[in-house]
Amino acid sequence: MAVTRAQRHPSLAMIAPVPVASPRLEFLFPTFSEFSDRPNRRALVDHFTNVMSHLIVLRETEGGNPFQQLVLPLCHSSSTVTNAIYALASAHLENRGCGHTEEKAVYFHNQAIQGLARLIELGGQANKNELLATIMLLVYYEVLVQQNRSNIVDGHLKGAIAIMNGNNDNSNSTTAFLERAFRFYDVIAALSFGTPPLSTAPPTGCLIPFPPVDSPNSSPLGSVDTLLGFSTTLWPIIHRLSNLLALKTELQTALTNGQMTKVA
């Protein structure tokens, strides 16, 4: 009787056949393919993630970038936030002379503005984070394309402050970060242009630090704000300092006009 190979070597029967790798595994999905199937739009997300997000925060840690961790995920459920990101990244590339010819920044900006209008029409049913993220990105866009401070930026800031002063329900880490971003920009703009900030100064000790995402509670970074780049105890002081130039101008105008009661 013939003896088979498996009978001569029983251990061979226990060896599973080696699977042949599928050729499909060699085709990798493009980076940021979950955002768009268009290469130019994926390139804009890449530019926002790897360039822009690092330019609009003062401090980064090993924990990551808050715009990448908190704002970018909103794109998965909001085309309005996505268009605002496209607009900002495209405008930055166009300013550097390397923008894409398929779709211009102004196109994405118009799409984001239309989406923002639809969100505002929803009133209290609109997603607060979606609203704030869109407005914040549009503020950065306007600052990038405008030579000086414009009424458009002021209008966006006033709208954001109205939203922040409204319903405070369903707040989370994304909401806290976006609100901090608005107050930060408001004060920086006031210091830059010599105009009073639109927001009111927080009382001393009432501003809770926004630590790096995923930092442990025991970390010394817990007292340092990710966006501001310094301890939040300094923030009320800086906010009040941003009012000084406007107050000085108002005082000088009153003295020139002989309005002594106003000076007093």
Q: Looking at the predicted structure, is the pLDDT value of residue 263 above 80?
A: no
What is the reported pLDDT for 109? 93
Q: Which of 14-18, 23-27, 244-248 has the highest mean pLDDT?
A: 244-248
- Answer yes or no: pTM beyond 0.75: no
Query: pLDDT digit string (tens) for 128-176?
Result: 899 889 988 988 898 888 766 667 777 777 778 777 777 666 678 888 8
Task: Read off the pLDDT band of 107 (50, 70, 90).
Answer: very high
Domain locations in the chain? Answer: 36-185
Distance (Å, whole) CA 30 – CA 36: 10
Structure token digits, residue 183? 């107050």
CB 242 within 8 A of CB 200: no
| More confident of the two residues 112 and 235 | 112
Handedness of CA 189, 190, 195, 198 (dihedral sign): positive
Tokens of 113: 């503005």
Identify the residue whose tokens are 């009040």.
240
Q: How many helices (H) and strands (E) does the chain have?
A: 12, 0
With CA atoms as reference, report the closest residue to 249 among 196, 187, 185: 196
In this predicted structure, the answer to whether residue 81 has a pLDDT above a threshold of 90 is yes
C-alpha 66, offset from chain centre: 7
| For range 16-29, the mean pLDDT | 48
